[in-house]
Chain A
Amino acid sequence: MVAIEASSLSKTYSNGISRKRRVEALSGFSLCVESGQIFSLLGPNGAGKTTFIKILLSLTRPTSGSASILNVPLPDDAVKGRVGYLPENHRYPGYFTGPQVLRFFGGLSGVQRPRLEERLSPLLELVGMAQWRDMKVKKYSKGMLQRLGLAQALINDPEVLFLDEPTDGVDPVGRKEIREILRDLKRQGKTIFLNSHLLSEVELISDRVAILDKGKLLRVGTVDELTGAGGSRYLIGISGHLPEEAQTEAQATVIRLETAGETVTAECSTPTELNRVIDLLRRHGVEITSIARQRSTLEDSFLSLIKREVAQ
């Protein structure tokens, strides 16, 4: 089943007093997210990530194109009862306590009072806020607000969860806890749509990732597909220095080859290329002491894609 679908979405904002200055936040953006996945949308600031979520939640109207959530064409207010949202920089009434926030926004989500009371304590427990339940929100730290925000997004037991920078301001222990919560929600069959700048975290939990820049979709795939796209990197330990002729010859064999002291870093697109480098080194009498595969990270792939886009 498709949880989220967008087809040729475009959004142009008109700015300035005369509203003549136009900013294209999304341009022909199409995407399909299967249900039960953790899907992450990455992109630099201003890429259009938040605009996309806002269009899905009818906070912003698209200039053109269409979208649906759980096969319900948008805009549709009723489908939002099946969705949870943690916005970036959310603001809760400071005079409320955590449970009051959950009761209020749960009620607005259409959750009946008995069900609300039933879900309240387990949710506060889940996000680690049970001990602060009587504290007013105005006294919360940024991390506590994020935890409460996550509980608020979950109060209606949503089928699709949109999280915009969910670990912003949360300490490393809290971030790990949130990752665990998200994995658990995925196990329950929920679809999680994540916007985050923390690529290392996204890499740890996402099933699929899309990279967006200047409103355009650059790439979409699994983390392996995205990180594998730039080739694998191998660290080859050698004793002594690499002879210059070996270095020149090897550079023609692989994508990139760098030497630093007794370490040779070779970027190869296939294992055959690696074997060619090994053969070459042995032919020049170089003694190999170790070989280690260094996986390229999502951050590497992201930066390389964005750099390529800027260069174009």
Chain B
Amino acid sequence: MKIFLLILGTSRELAAKATLYVLAGISTLVLLFAGLALSSATSDEGTTLLLFGNPVSPPATAGAFGDLVAKMETGFAAGLFAGVVLFGMFGTAGVIPDALDRGTVDLYLSKPISRWELLAGKYLGSVTAVFANILYFIGGLWLIIGLKVGAWNPALLATAFLMTFAFACLYAIVVLFGVLTRNMAIAIIAGFLYIFLVGEALQNREFGLYRISTNEVYRAIVDGSYYLFPQISAMQSNAMKFLSGVDMDWRPFAQSFLSSGAILGLAAWTLRQKDF
């Protein structure tokens, strides 16, 4: 009940900020564009995809047309993923530092709630707000493509959950740094450094980190680090595979679930030790 209240309160807090509205605004523009531009035409030769009434693909059978639409959806979803990382992190990185600010944390912790409940409520509230944004775009896109092109791809809807999951894993790192430093800027920087630098370097270790040394211990540390942290990049590429109907690997999701759980546990332990 109290966690539910904290989730609602955090979603309300984020709704009062402009950042996530920017993401929603961009999503609306893309949806409007898709709604106006996309359509399809069916003839004896097959189905053709139309952009503003002009054919952009040769006539295809139902199966081949479905694959084409799935590729287009993958493009949209990849764009959204970048948007979610950018605006989602900017929008939610301040949630933990704000909650731990003097004058606010006193109000929360003087209530009969434990510190882990506060952290969990704030974390889940942020993830819920981002999920609402993702669902708005993906759900809208699914409806538009279904209504205007006639291709109803349930995998597109499922991608909303995979994207939210990937964001939730990344956000665990932002939360940890938010608790450690109580500083929004540092939490954002940590999130971006991880996704664009550390995460990428670990993901593509064969082409970079492995070349630094051939020492086995060093390589074991690099490999261990890869499995120790959430695999955002691998989850993104597998989500896109899932959307395209290609066999995907679930292991990055399972491993990221465990590692982000551990990171959140570390954040909760750190919060428990703090004096306010």
A-B interaction: yes
Q: Name A residues whose Cβ lies closer than 8 Å to a Cβ of B.
A: 13, 54, 57-61, 77-81, 83, 85, 87-95, 104-105, 107-110, 152, 162
Shortest beta-carbon distance, A112 to chain B, in Å?
9
Which residue of chain B is the closest to A62 with respect to CB atoms? Answer: B275
Which residue of chain B is the closest to A57 with respect to CB atoms? Answer: B110
Partner of B110, one of A13, A85, A89, A107: A85
With A59-B275, A61-B275, A87-B107: A104-B5 Cβ-Cβ less than 8 Å: yes
Chain B contact surface mostly? loop
Which residue of chain A is the closest to B9 with respect to CB atoms? Answer: A104
- How many chain-B residues does the 8 Å CB contact rule pick out? 24
Which residue of chain A is the closest to B110 with respect to CB atoms? Answer: A85
Q: A77-B112, A81-B111 are in contact. List 7 more A-B contacts (CB 8 A).
A: A13-B275, A59-B106, A85-B107, A87-B103, A87-B106, A95-B13, A108-B2
B22 at the interface (CB under 8 A from A): no
B5 touches A107 (CB 8 A): yes
Which residue of chain B is the closest to A51 with respect to CB atoms? Answer: B275
Shortest beta-carbon distance, A151 to chain B, in Å?
13
Cβ contacts A to B, 8 pairs, < 8 Å: A54-B275, A87-B103, A93-B9, A94-B16, A95-B12, A105-B107, A107-B5, A162-B110
Chain A residues, Cβ within 8 Å of B102: 89
With A60-B275, A91-B103: A108-B109 Cβ-Cβ less than 8 Å: no
Shortest beta-carbon distance, B167 to chain A, in Å?
24
B207 at the interface (CB under 8 A from A): no
Shortest beta-carbon distance, A187 to chain B, in Å?
24
Chain A residues, Cβ within 8 Å of B249: none
With A91-B104, A95-B12: A108-B276 Cβ-Cβ less than 8 Å: no
With A59-B275, A91-B101, A107-B5: A81-B112 Cβ-Cβ less than 8 Å: yes
With A85-B106, A90-B103, A93-B13: A108-B275 Cβ-Cβ less than 8 Å: no
Partner of A80, one of B101, B104, B110: B110
B105 at the interface (CB under 8 A from A): yes
Chain B residues, Cβ within 8 Å of A94: 16
B108 at the interface (CB under 8 A from A): yes
Chain A residues, Cβ within 8 Å of B113: 77, 108
Chain B, 85-105, contact with A by CB distance < 8 Å: what is the 0/1 string? Answer: 000000000000000011111
B114 at the interface (CB under 8 A from A): yes
With A61-B275, A91-B101, A95-B13: A83-B110 Cβ-Cβ less than 8 Å: yes
Chain A residues, Cβ within 8 Å of B2: 107-108, 110
Chain A residues, Cβ within 8 Å of B5: 104, 107-108
Which residue of chain A is the closest to B12 with respect to CB atoms? Answer: A95
Shortest beta-carbon distance, B30 to chain A, in Å?
28
Chain A residues, Cβ within 8 Å of B110: 57, 59, 80, 83, 85, 87, 162
What 5 A-B pairs are tightest by C-beta distance, nearest first?
A87-B106, A85-B110, A95-B16, A91-B103, A81-B112
Number of residue pairs across A and B with beta carbons under 8 Å?
76
Shortest beta-carbon distance, B10 to chain A, in Å?
10
Shortest beta-carbon distance, B258 to chain A, in Å?
28
Cα–Cα, bound, A57→B109 (Å): 8
Chain A residues, Cβ within 8 Å of B108: 108
Q: Name B residues whose Cβ lies closer than 8 Å to a Cβ of A.
A: 1-2, 5-6, 9, 12-13, 16, 101-114, 275-276
Chain B residues, Cβ within 8 Å of A93: 9, 12-13, 16
Cα–Cα, bound, A110→B3 (Å): 11
Chain B residues, Cβ within 8 Å of A87: 103, 106-107, 110
With A78-B112, A105-B111: A54-B276 Cβ-Cβ less than 8 Å: yes
Partner of A108, one of B101, B106, B111: B111
B109 touches A110 (CB 8 A): no
Max chain A C-beta neighbours (<10 A), residue from B13, B104, B106, B113: B106
Chain A residues, Cβ within 8 Å of B103: 87-91
Which residue of chain A is the closest to B6 with respect to CB atoms? Answer: A108
A80 touches B9 (CB 8 A): no
Chain B residues, Cβ within 8 Å of A95: 12-13, 16
Shortest beta-carbon distance, B99 to chain A, in Å?
11
Max chain A C-beta neighbours (<10 A), residue from B2, B13, B103, B112: B112
Which residue of chain A is the closest to B15 with respect to CB atoms? Answer: A95
Chain A residues, Cβ within 8 Å of B105: 59
Shortest beta-carbon distance, A268 to chain B, in Å?
46
Cα–Cα, bound, A60→B5 (Å): 24
Cα–Cα, bound, A48→B108 (Å): 21
Cα–Cα, bound, A94→B5 (Å): 17
Chain B residues, Cβ within 8 Å of A80: 110-112
Shortest beta-carbon distance, B96 to chain A, in Å?
15
Chain A residues, Cβ within 8 Å of B112: 77-81, 108-110
Chain B residues, Cβ within 8 Å of A79: 112
With A77-B114, A91-B101, A104-B5: A59-B109 Cβ-Cβ less than 8 Å: yes
Shortest beta-carbon distance, A55 to chain B, in Å?
9
Which residue of chain B is the closest to A96 with respect to CB atoms? Answer: B12
